[in-house]
Amino acid sequence: MTKFSFRSFVSSRHASRTIMFSIVAACGLMACLTFAVNTTAKVKIGEQPKSSVAKFPLRMSTGREISLMDLRGKVAVVNFFAVWCGHSRLHIPTLTKYGEEDAKRGLQIVGLAVDDAETTPQRVSEFIAQMKITYPVGLVTDDVFKKYVESKDLSVPQTLVYARDGKLVAHFVGHDDSVAAELTETIKRELDKL
C-alpha cells in the first residue's frame, strides 16, 4: 500500500496545473462577484449622459455603429458584460426575453463585451450564439466602460437604462433575482410611457 504524501501530490505536474487553474478561476470569480456593493459608481440617475458619451460611436459586431444619441426616442438598455463571467451569463436571459413586439414599442438593447485578455471577437461571436442574443453586441475597452458608468468600478455585469428622452433612469450592477426583477420592472415602466 502506497502512503499518500501531500508534498509529492503538490509537486506533481497535474496537481500544479489543477491548483493554478483553481487559483485563476477563484480570482475570476472574485472579480465577477464584486458587484455586491457598488457605492463608488457616480452615474447620475435622472440626467442625460455627457455629450462625449452620448455621441460616442459604439461599433457592433456587424460593423454598424450605434450611439446613445441615435437611440433617443427609444428605451435604451446598455449591458456591459464579460464572456468569462458567470453572473454575466446569468444576466443575459433577463435581456434576451425581449423580442420584436418590444422593439416595435421602442425598446433597444445593446450588449457591450468588455475587452480583456480572455475576450476575442471569435469568443464574443460564440458567446452571442450560445446565449441566443438577438440584439446588437459590440466590444469596448475599459476606458469606454468607465465613461459610461462614470466609475472605476468595472465589475460586470452592469446595465444602464435610458428613457426615451435620453436621461438615465436606472443603473444595475451584478445579477441576482432582485436585479432581474427590478430591471424587468424598469423596462416595462419606461415602455409604458408614451
Q: Do residues 83 and 74 lie in contact, with contact meaning Cβ atoms separated by under 8 Å?
A: no
Which residues are within 8 A (CB) of 187 and not within 5 positions of it... i.e. 6 or more apart? 75, 77, 98, 107, 161
State residue 35's pLDDT score: 39
Q: How many Å separate Cα 93 from the centre of its chain?
A: 12
Least Cα distance to 189 among 88, 77, 22 occurs for 77
- Spatial distance between the Cα atoms of 20 and 13, rounded to a whole number of angstroms: 11
Domains with residue ranges and CATH for the chain: 36-192 (3.40.30.10)
Low-confidence ranges of the chain (pLDDT < 70): 1-43
State residue 43's pLDDT score: 58
Instruction: Render pLDDT for 147-185 as a digit per residue (tens, 0 to 9).
Output: 999 888 899 999 999 999 999 999 999 999 999 999 999
Assign 3-state DSSP to the chain and report helix, strand, coil percentages, each to 5. 45, 20, 35
State residue 171's pLDDT score: 96
- Spatial distance between the Cα atoms of 44 and 109, rounded to a whole number of angstroms: 20
How much is the pTM? 0.79
State residue 44's pLDDT score: 84
